[in-house]
Structure 1
Amino acid sequence: MLHASEYRNPEAFTGERVIVVGAGDAAVQMAVELASVARVTLASHRVPPRPAVSRRPRRLWQPRAPAASRRLLRCA
């Protein structure tokens, strides 16, 4: 078993069966790298995986576009 903080490169897993737990940025990057050298690469994550978006809440309103942008949109 190896934590993402200890992972350096995929060469140590050449020809091995590998399971990557999680769907975060580090896990996805490792899975892609390992898939090129491992015999089998499996991924396990919670269902459904959390979306890859900012964790900040969405704005409930959007500020108006600057006047120059509004003029360009009217001309199109």
Structure 2
Amino acid sequence: MLQVTQPHLITASNLDVPDDFYEALIESHQGLSAEESHAFNARLVLLLANHIGSMPVLREAFAAARRA
């Protein structure tokens, strides 16, 4: 299993082109019902969590998301 993780959650801007990411995210929801959109978001979260692969980092992300 390949696991390359940071020891802590990166909260500073880390996207090359944040506007492009946002546009792609919005486009990925085009044509989806509210239920399909929620399911898409759930699948995306699970895929990204698997990519991160570190429970301590994921717990930091949970806490940061709740604070926002």
TM-score by length of 2: 0.27
Higher relative contact order (CA closer than 8 Å, sequence separation 6+): 2
TM-score calculated relative to the size of structure 1: 0.25
Larger radius of gyration: 1
**Greater per-residue strand proportion:** 1
Q: By percentage of residues, which structure has more helix?
A: 2
